[in-house]
Amino acid sequence: MASETIPARFGHIRRYFALFLLLTVIIGVSAYEDTVPLILWSGKKFSVPSTSSILRRSDLSPVFGNVGCRKLNVVFEQKDLHALDLPHLSPATKKLKRSVDSAPSSLKISFVAAANDVKDVVEHIQDACQKAGQEAVVLKIGEDGSVPDLSDGKSYILVASLKPLRAASAAEHVETMTENDNVIDKVLTDITKLEQDDWTAVFTGVSNPSTLRKRATQATPLPWSKRPIFQKYVFFNQGLFMCIFAMVPLVIIGLLGVRIISSIQTPTRYETKKKEK
């Protein structure tokens, strides 16, 4: 009786396994499309929590709970900022970078699920303040970065809405981000004068996921000669590389499993005893 050979069976297994890996990589890469960066730093030391570079919105609660509450907590919301935008905008964020690098403690999360606003971030800070026995008052400050007199001993959460990037050319993005960088510097200078080191700052992008995708398709690209390598070769981006690195252990384990199984010699036929005449 003929039957399917072992090599043929494992050929099917390898094909299905390769298809599974391909689908996993595609799903992983698409997950990076709707993400924003989040940077958290403070004038005082805090215990930096161990976190992944990829977080859901619900994962932010323990992060802020670990940092605690300060007298002044400022949240900078940068509209239409994608997780992969910051490296390209580095020339326009020098003051932000200097403040983060000089802070006693800081935390950078590269990929956080996008949201329409920073409401959940404000709520996480409020929860941290309540646990510390403080009631934080929420105030909004304009795009000019004007900070009111807050020397009344209360804890405050200042929400600074920065000028949105929108769908524009790369040069316009740099120009807008430079203006916002100056606003960030002004706000931090003012709150430092008010409370010395008793402050915490958060910088994050906010946008509807569909807006991020729309801006990515409408933005005017830089000339080819001036593009960084991640823009010249769109398929190869940071999100893809991080996904590939995360998949390496699974791929190795899967290939070893296939190799071990394929090395097992299983007879496809069994000899039968000859009948005695």
CA distance 82 to 37: 7
Answer whether 0.85 is exceeded by the pTM.
no
Is 277 within the bounds of a domain?
no
CA distance 176 to 242: 29
Whether residues 82 and 196 share a domain: the answer is yes
CA distance 67 to 64: 5
pLDDT digits (tens, 9 = 90+) for 81-129: 988 888 888 899 999 999 999 999 999 998 898 888 899 999 999 999 9
- Helix, strand, coil content of the chain in percent (nearest 5): 50, 15, 35
pLDDT digits (tens, 9 = 90+) for 169-209: 888 899 999 999 999 999 999 999 998 899 999 999 987 55
Q: Which two tokens stand for residue 184?
A: 């960030």
Amino acid at 262: S
Tally of domains in the chain: 2
Is 269 within the bounds of a domain?
no
Mean pLDDT of the chain: 78
CA distance 222 to 102: 32
Is 274 within the bounds of a domain?
no
Which domain, by its residues, includes 252? 6-29+240-262
pLDDT digits (tens, 9 = 90+) for 42-87: 999 998 877 777 888 888 999 998 899 999 999 999 999 988 888 8
pLDDT at 155 over 80: yes
Whether residues 172 and 46 share a domain: the answer is yes
Whether residues 11 and 40 share a domain: the answer is no
Whether residues 64 and 111 share a domain: the answer is yes
Whether residues 182 and 100 share a domain: the answer is yes
Whether residues 145 and 250 share a domain: the answer is no
Is 267 within the bounds of a domain?
no
Whether residues 220 and 247 share a domain: the answer is no
Long-range contacts of 264-267 (CB under 8 A, 24+ apart): 265/6, 266/6
SS3 136: strand
Whether residues 230 and 250 share a domain: the answer is no
Whether residues 54 and 122 share a domain: the answer is yes
Burial bucket for residue 151 (CB in 10 Å: 0-12, 13-18, 19+):
exposed
Using CA atoms in the order 131, 135, 55, 214, what is the torsion angle rounded to 10 degrees? Answer: 170
Taking the mean position of all CA atoms in its chain, how far away is CA 39? 10
Whether residues 118 and 230 share a domain: the answer is yes
Is 87 within the bounds of a domain?
yes
CA distance 255 to 247: 12
Whether residues 14 and 137 share a domain: the answer is no
Q: Are the C-beta atoms of 251 and 21 separated by less than 8 Å? A: yes
Whether residues 108 and 143 share a domain: the answer is yes
Out of 234, 250, 270, pick the residue that ends a domain: 234
